[in-house]
Amino acid sequence: MATFFRRMAIRYIFLTLFFSADIGFLGRVTSFGINYGQVANNLPSPNKVLELFSNLKVTKTRIYDTNPEILSAFAKSNVEVIVTVENQMLIQLNDPQQALQWVNGHIKPYLPDTKITGIQVGNELFTNGDTTLIQYLVPAVVNIHNALVQLGIDSNIHVSTPSSLEVLQESYPPSAGSFKNEISGIMSQFLSFLSTTKAPFWINAYPYFAYKDDPSRIPLDYVLFNPNEGMVDPNTNLHYDNMLYAQVDAVTFAIARLNFSGIEVRVSETGWPSKGDLNEVGATLQNAQTYNRNLLRRQMANEGTPLSPRMRLEAYFFALFNEDMKTGATSERNYGLFQPDETMTYNVGLAAFASSSTSSTSISLTSSATNTKQAASKEFQSLFFWVFVCLLTSALCGFV
């Protein structure tokens, strides 16, 4: 165990040194992303959605299919789009020729006018109710990537898949993060693919669910990004003031336990419902507003997690609209930042982008990024000192 943490510490030092270099990583404004779901019968047209994105200066979105109307409408815009292969398509894409045909028909026709930057192969396959699908994941991602290479359109498009936090056997403290034993074999193959292609590991992370299931033990302020005491990981001494960052770092540790490094963890979905059933504790408009507003502020400040403070955590809010045709609990239909008529469900601060000029917004956000960079520099110095002391102490005591 001590050897594992020593290896993680060394990797962390090199990553931190790399991102501390003056390469402008934190000096540029980076947009947040919003998931654009379509399980509704009353949504505005894709052209209207693009207009909404433009007004809000949103430049990243993810859709749950390859809807031709959306991909066509977003052509010649500055919005980057991540598309999704539906779960039921995986068996078909195990055939390399079928994968090539799929890319030729669903991706290539929209390039380069539409900025397709990612292909998500399935959704939450590792924990999907149909356990037979997972065996097709790795062949499908390999075949789609090879098809992109064959067509010469792979340079700006990553291939991956989003997973739920249920892939983890342990998540607390973050340093104990590990994947479930029953999926470790396929997970290792998938991580090998990500490592080879330099693609990110995407996670759907919802602190709301953890709070709903155990509200008496989990502080609400901790999950809402409000000021709170937080928690300290006893193995790394890293302090966490919110659950989302702890969840992300738990995934990073789980990846490291399978002997992979350098794979960036990104959040494909996170959000909070504004309405729920009587047994859905915490599903209120006020909590939804607080969670998303606080996360938006951190996104605009280019924050990283405690394990990787200099590497901005990329996160996609769920979701753009309330979707009235979703089944299940009331909360499922009430994650939207906006109503279908394009009015805000609640104000998280997005209106400020619509009312500000591009230049003034850029200046404001760049200033925030600069402050974060200065703060992160201090954190880097203290963390470097702590890691050095930890390793020295361990060596002297014969633990490593």
Active site residue ranges: 124, 269
Residues 178, 255: Cα–Cα separation, whole Å: 7
The separation between the first and the last C-alpha atoms of the chain, rounded to the nearest angstrom, is 9
CB 82 within 8 A of CB 119: yes
Residues 227, 233: Cα–Cα separation, whole Å: 18
Residues 291, 306: Cα–Cα separation, whole Å: 19
Task: Classify each residue of 81-101 as buried b or exposed e, where b means 16 or more C-beta atoms within 10 Å of its C-beta.
Answer: bbbbbebebbeebbeeebbbe
Per DSSP, the residues of 29-49 read ----EEE-----SSPPPHHHH
CB 38 within 8 A of CB 326: no
CA angle 202/208/209 to nearest 5° reads 80
Beta bridge partners, 61, equal 34, 81
User: What distances in angstroms separate CA 309 from CA 213, 233, 239, 322, 354, one per listed residue?
Assistant: 29, 15, 11, 33, 29
Residues 70, 52: Cα–Cα separation, whole Å: 13
Per DSSP, the residues of 115-161 read EEEEEEESSSGGG-S-TTGGGGHHHHHHHHHHHHHHHT--TT-EEE-
